[in-house]
Amino acid sequence: MKNPLNSAARRAGLAAVAGLSALALAACGAGQVSQTSDQVAAVDGASAGTEDGLMAVRDVHVIVEEDATTGLKFTAINQDPSGTSHTLKSVEIEGNEVQLSANPSLGQNCSLVADTAQNIKALKKPGKDDACITYATSTVNNPGFPIGGNVSVTFTFDDATIDMIATVAGNQQETFMSDREVEN
């Protein structure tokens, strides 16, 4: 006959080992920074700023519409704490000048949001008193910008220049809005 004391001790030992294993495994990740905790989403465009940090551009990428109409999507922001207004004088993609429908003098904490006409029309805009934002459509001659490729973009402000690399993207279609021929 088996010794009941041995069996109880064995069960208690197994329970203790299981509990300590769970505690050790849970502690392995405690206090650790996850790999994705500080990564920026891949869908955002490029970002850069002037050397003095007074002007910044965010979410910059070239958009090629289905009909080959091409524009530059970006947000230019005046971060100058002195209250000085700044103006975007010009924007070029690989030497091709971008045409903007509006080019205001940006006051402190004001921004210029530019995109293709189709995308600007679809934006939900805040009320005039809610934010200091100007919306502009952008167009540029497309000599063959490669969708999925990268191109150089130059923003020239009244007192500084930002040179950067931006991705060329095709405009996204709504889900289930494109019929494709299926070959059997």
pTM over 0.85: no
Q: Which residue has the higher pLDDT, 44 or 140?
A: 140
* Domain architecture of the chain: domains with CATH: 46-170 (2.60.40.1890)
Q: What is the mean pLDDT of residues 155-184?
A: 79
Res 117: pLDDT: 92
- Mean pLDDT in residue range 110-122: 93
* Distance linking the first and last C-alpha atoms of the chain: 71
How much is the CA Rg of the chain, to the nearest whole Å?
Answer: 27
Q: Give residue 21's pLDDT band: very low, low, confident or very high (50, 70, 90).
A: confident
Token digits for 35?
């790999």
DSSP string, 2-54: --HHHHHHHHHHHHHHHHHHHHHHHHHTTTPPPTTTTPPPTTS-EEEE-TTSS
| 103/43: higher pLDDT | 103
pLDDT at position 17, please?
77
Q: Tens of pLDDT along 47-105?
A: 999 999 999 999 999 999 888 889 999 999 999 999 999 999 999 999 999 999 998 89
Q: Determine the average pLDDT of the residues in 95-117.
A: 94
